[in-house]
Structure 1
Amino acid sequence: MTAQKGSKPAHLSVLLEEAVEAMVADASGRYVDGTFGRGGHSRQVLARLGEHGELIGIDKDPEAISVGEQLASEDRRFHICHGSFAELDRFVADAGWGGISGMLMDLGVSSPQLDDATRGFSFMRNGPLDMRMNPQQAPSAAEWLNTAKEKDIADVIWRYGEERFSRRIARAVVERRVEEPLATTRELAELVSAAVPRKEKHKHPATRTFQAVRMFINRELDDLEAGLKLAAHLLEPGGRLVVISFHSLEDRMVKRFMRDLARGPQLPRGLPVTADQAESDFRLIGKAIKAETDEVTDNVRARSAVMRILERRSRTSGV
C-alpha cells in the first residue's frame, strides 16, 4: 500500500519492484496477484499495464477484499476475487481468460493482519485466539486447539512449525483445556513458553507453534501446492510465475516444484525421443532473490523473504 505524504504506510510490500519487474513483460497482458493484501504489488502492476492490460487480485481476507473493491471501482482493468489462489482456475474462467501472462504469490501474513490484535495472529499482541485469514470460515485456532486430539495437535506443531517440543506443547494444551479452554493469544503464548524446556536465543518460544497453528487453520501449504500447479498450467508461453516466501517450509515446496518442472520429464535411457520432446516447457529465471539491506532496514519482515521465478518457454522464439 502506498502511504500518503508524511504518513507511515500500513503495509510495506516486500520485494515490490523486483517482483513486478520480473513478472510484467507485456503491457497488454493478463496478470494475477494471488495475495492482494493491501494492494501494494497490484498497484505497481497496474502502473506498468497499458489500456488493454488486466489484473485479477485474490485474497481470503474480507478486509483485503474491501480495499480491492475500492481499487476496482477506480480502475476498470482490475478485478478482485474473494478466496484462495487454490481456486485460480475458477477465477480465471469467470474472467473469460484462456490463460495468464503471469502470476505473483506473496506468501505469509500481511502487516495489517499481524498488527491487529483482534485477528489473533501474533503472540506480541493479546487478543482472541483466532488466526483465520477469512474469519467467516471455521474453525478458529481456539476452537481447534480446544477440541482436537493431543496427537493431532502435536503432529500439526511438528509438521508446520518444525517444533521439537511439539508433544510437550500438545500435552500442555490438553491439560489446560480440561480446566479452562484457551481463549487468547497471550494464554497460548504463556502456555507454550512454560512447556518448552530450552529457549532459542532471540526467538520467542511460541514462534513455531503460532506459525504451525496458523498455517494449519488456513490450509496454507495445501493451498500453495494447488496454486502452484494451477498457475503453471495456466501460464501462457513467455509467462512467469513469481513466488515470495517467508519461511523454509514454503520455500522448500516452491523450490522443489519449480526445479522439477524445469527439469522436464525424467525418461528412461535409450527411449527414442527427440531433444524437443525431452526438454521441459519451463525454465528457472536466475537464482533465488533476497531483499537488499536497505529494504530490511525499512521493513524487518523482509529479512526472511526469498523470491523465485519460473517461466514457461516461448517455443516460437526458440528460447
Structure 2
Amino acid sequence: MMTDLGGTEDPADGGPVRHIPVLLAPVTASLDLPPGSLIVDGTFGAGGYSAALLRRGYRVLGIDRDPSAIAGARALLDEHPALTLREGRFGDLEALLRQDGVETVDGIVLDIGVSSMQIDEAERGFSFQKDGPLDMRMSGSGPTAADVVNRLKVGDLARILNFLGEERQAGRIARAIEARRTERPFERTLDLAGLVARTIGRNPKDRIDPATRTFQALRIFVNDELGELVRALLAAERMLRPGGRLSVVTFHSLEDRIVKRFLRDRSEAASGSRHLPDVQHKAPTFESRNRPVVGEEGEIALNPRARSAKLRSATRTQAPAREGREAHAFADLPDLADLPAAGA
C-alpha cells in the first residue's frame, strides 16, 4: 500500500531519482484512440504521460494544482503545440474544460498521489526522510499539515490517522502529539517523524518507516485527495464521449477501492425501487475491465513506485451520465474547512 512515502530503499520515495511515469506502456495502450484525439492528463506532474501521449499524435490538455509543475513545463509546451496546460484541481476538470469551451473529450488519464519530485523537495514538507517545514500542500494554499497536527482535537486526529493512513496505533500517536504540542507546536517534518518513531517504535518485520502511515494520512487529508478522486470520476462520466477511455493509476488501497467500486457500479445496470415501478432502469455508463494491470518485475526493478501501482481502465458507453453527484462514503472525518483557529 505504501509506495510514494516509503523508506530510503526506494529512491523514488525520497531519494534523488526524479519522477518516472508508472505503468506508462499499459496506460497509453489502454487509451487506444485515433491520432488527434483529445486526452486530459488530469495529474500532469512532470509531464511523463503527456509527453508519451503527444508522441502518439494526441492532443493533450494537462491539469495540475501545483504551480511549480505548470512552470516547469515550458520546454514541453514549446516542443508540442498540441499541449495545453491549466492550473487547477483534477476534481474540477469539468469546469476547467468548459472554461475552454470543451464539451466532451476522448480520454482521461489520472495518476493519483504525490510525485517523487514533490517528495524530493524538502521545503514542500512531504518527506519524513528530510527536514523541512511541515507543509504538504500540493497547491501551496490553505491549511498546512502543521495546522492540522497542532489544532485538531485528538479524537479527530486519531480518526484521520486510522482511516487515511490505516495506522493501527492511531490513538497512541494522536495522544502523543497532543501531549507534545502543549509544550511547543510542531513545525518541522523530522520533529513529527521522530515523535511517531519514539511512540510506536519500529517493527523489525515491517520494511516501512514508522512515520509512513502518519505522513500519508496527513497528506491525503490536507489535499482532500480522496474527495478530489471521487469528483474527478464523476466528472469523467459526464465529460467523456461515447467510446471515450478512462485510465486511472492508484498507489494504495483507499484510492484503488474508490476506483474499483465506481467502475463496478457504473458497469452494472442500476434498477429502480421495486416500490416505484415507474422508475426507469439505468444502463451502464462504462464498460470496465475486470482485473487491474500491475507493474511487471522489470519495471519495478527500475522504478520502485510501480510495486503497488494498479491501473484500472474503462470505456464510456452511450448511456447518459447518472444524475446526482454522490460521493463514496468515507469515515466520519473532520472537514478541513472547519479547522479550529490557532489557539482555540
Q: TM-score, normalised by structure 2?
A: 0.83
Matched, 1:294 2:284: no
| Contact residue 60 and residue 83 of structure 1 kept, 8 A | yes
In the alignment, is residue 229 of structure 1 matched against residue 234 of structure 2? yes
Preserved contact between residue 286 and residue 309 of structure 1 (Cα < 8 Å) = no
* Counterpart residue number, 2:149: 145
Q: Which amino acid aligns with 1:11?
A: H
Distance (Å, rounded) in 1 between the aligned partners of 2:220 and 2:78: 32
CA distance in 2, matches of 1:75, 1:288: 31
8 Å CA contact 1:131–1:214 kept in 2: the answer is: yes
Deviations 1:55-110 (A, max 9, x none): 11011111111123442233221111111111111111122211110100001111
* Partner secondary structure for residue 248 of structure 2: strand
Q: 1:250, CA displacement in angstroms?
A: 0.3
Judging changes above 3 Å, is the alpha-carbon distance between structure 1 residues 258 and 195 closer, same or farther for their aligned structure 2 residues?
A: same
Is the Cα–Cα contact under 8 Å of residues 172 and 199 in structure 2 kept in the other structure? yes
Which residue matches 1:41? 49
Instruction: Give the distance between the partners of 2:154 and 2:279, measured in 1 at CA.
Output: 53
- Distance across 1 between alignment mates of 2:202 and 2:235: 42
Aligned CA RMSD, in angstroms, stands at 2.1
Is contact 1:13-1:40 (8 Å) kept? yes
Partner residue, 2:335 = none
In structure 1, the residue matched to 2:334 is none
State the alpha-carbon separation in 1 of the partners of residues 294 and 40 from structure 2: 22
Instruction: Name the counterpart of 1:262.
Output: 267
3-state SS of 2:39 partner: strand
Aligned to 1:113: 118
- Secondary structure in structure 2 of the residue aligned to 1:266: coil
Name the residue aligned to 1:82: 87
What is the CA deviation profile of residues 164-197 of structure 1, one whole-angstrom value per residue up to 9, with x for unaligned ones? 2111111111111111111111111111112226
CA contact (8 A) 1:100 1:236 kept: yes
Equivalent of residue 24 in structure 2, options 13, 16, 19: 16
- 1:129/1:283 CA distance change after superposition, 3 Å: same
Alignment partner of 1:123 is 2:131:
no
Paired letter, 1:202: R
Distance 1:110 1:216 in 2: 16
Contact 2:40 2:108 in 1 (8 A): yes
Q: Which amino acid aligns with 1:255?
A: K
For 2:258 and 2:189, how far apart are their aligned partners in 1?
A: 28
Within-5 A mapping of 1:59-78: 59-78=64-83
Residue identity in the other structure for 1:194: R
Contact 2:202–2:209, Cα closer than 8 Å, also in 1: no
Superposition deviation, residue 269 in structure 1:
6.6
Contact residue 128 and residue 190 of structure 2 kept, 8 A:
yes
Question: Secondary structure at 1:124's aligned position in 2?
Answer: coil
SS at match of 1:263: coil
Task: Tell me: CA distance 1:24–1:79, structure 2 relative to 1, closer, same or farther (3 Å).
Answer: farther
Displacement after TM superposition at 1:255 (Å) = 0.3
Q: Which residue of 2 aligns with 1:173?
A: 177
Q: Provide the residue aligned with 2:213 in structure 1.
A: 208
Superposition TM-score, scaled by structure 1 size: 0.89
Q: Is the 8 A contact 2:273 2:279 kept in 1?
A: no
Is the 2:42–2:64 Cα contact (8 Å) retained in structure 1?
yes
Contact preservation (8 Å) 2:201, 2:210:
no
The residue identity in structure 2 corresponding to 1:27 is: P
Amino acid of the residue matched to residue 105 of structure 2?
Answer: I
> Aligned partner of 1:184: which letter?
R
Residue 164 of structure 1: SS of its match in structure 2? coil
**Is the alpha carbon distance of 1:125 and 1:198 closer, same or farther for their aligned partners in structure 2, counting shifts above 3 Å?**
closer
Residue 280 of structure 1 corresponds to which residue in structure 2? 284
Structure 1 unaligned blocks of 5 or more? 1-7
Closer, same or farther in 2 for the Cα pair 1:273/1:214, shift >3 Å?
closer
Identity of aligned residues (%): 41
Number of equivalences: 302
Change (3 A) 1:306 1:213: same
- Per-residue deviation, 1:139: 1.1
Alpha-carbon deviation of 1:272?
8.5
Following superposition, the deviation at residue 302 of structure 1 comes to 0.8
Task: Report runs of 4+ in structure 1 exceeding 6 Å deviation.
Answer: none
**SS of match in other structure, 2:96:** helix
SS class of match (1:14)? coil
> 1:162 matched to which residue of 2?
166
Q: How far does residue 153 in structure 1 lie from its aligned partner after superposition?
A: 1.0
Counterpart code for 1:92: L
Could you tell me which residue of structure 1 aligns to residue 332 of structure 2?
Answer: none
Tell me: higher relative CO, structure 1 or 2? Use CA pairs within 8 A at least 6 residues apart.
Answer: 2
- One-letter code of the match for 2:28? V
* Unaligned runs of at least 5 residues, structure 2: 1-15, 320-344
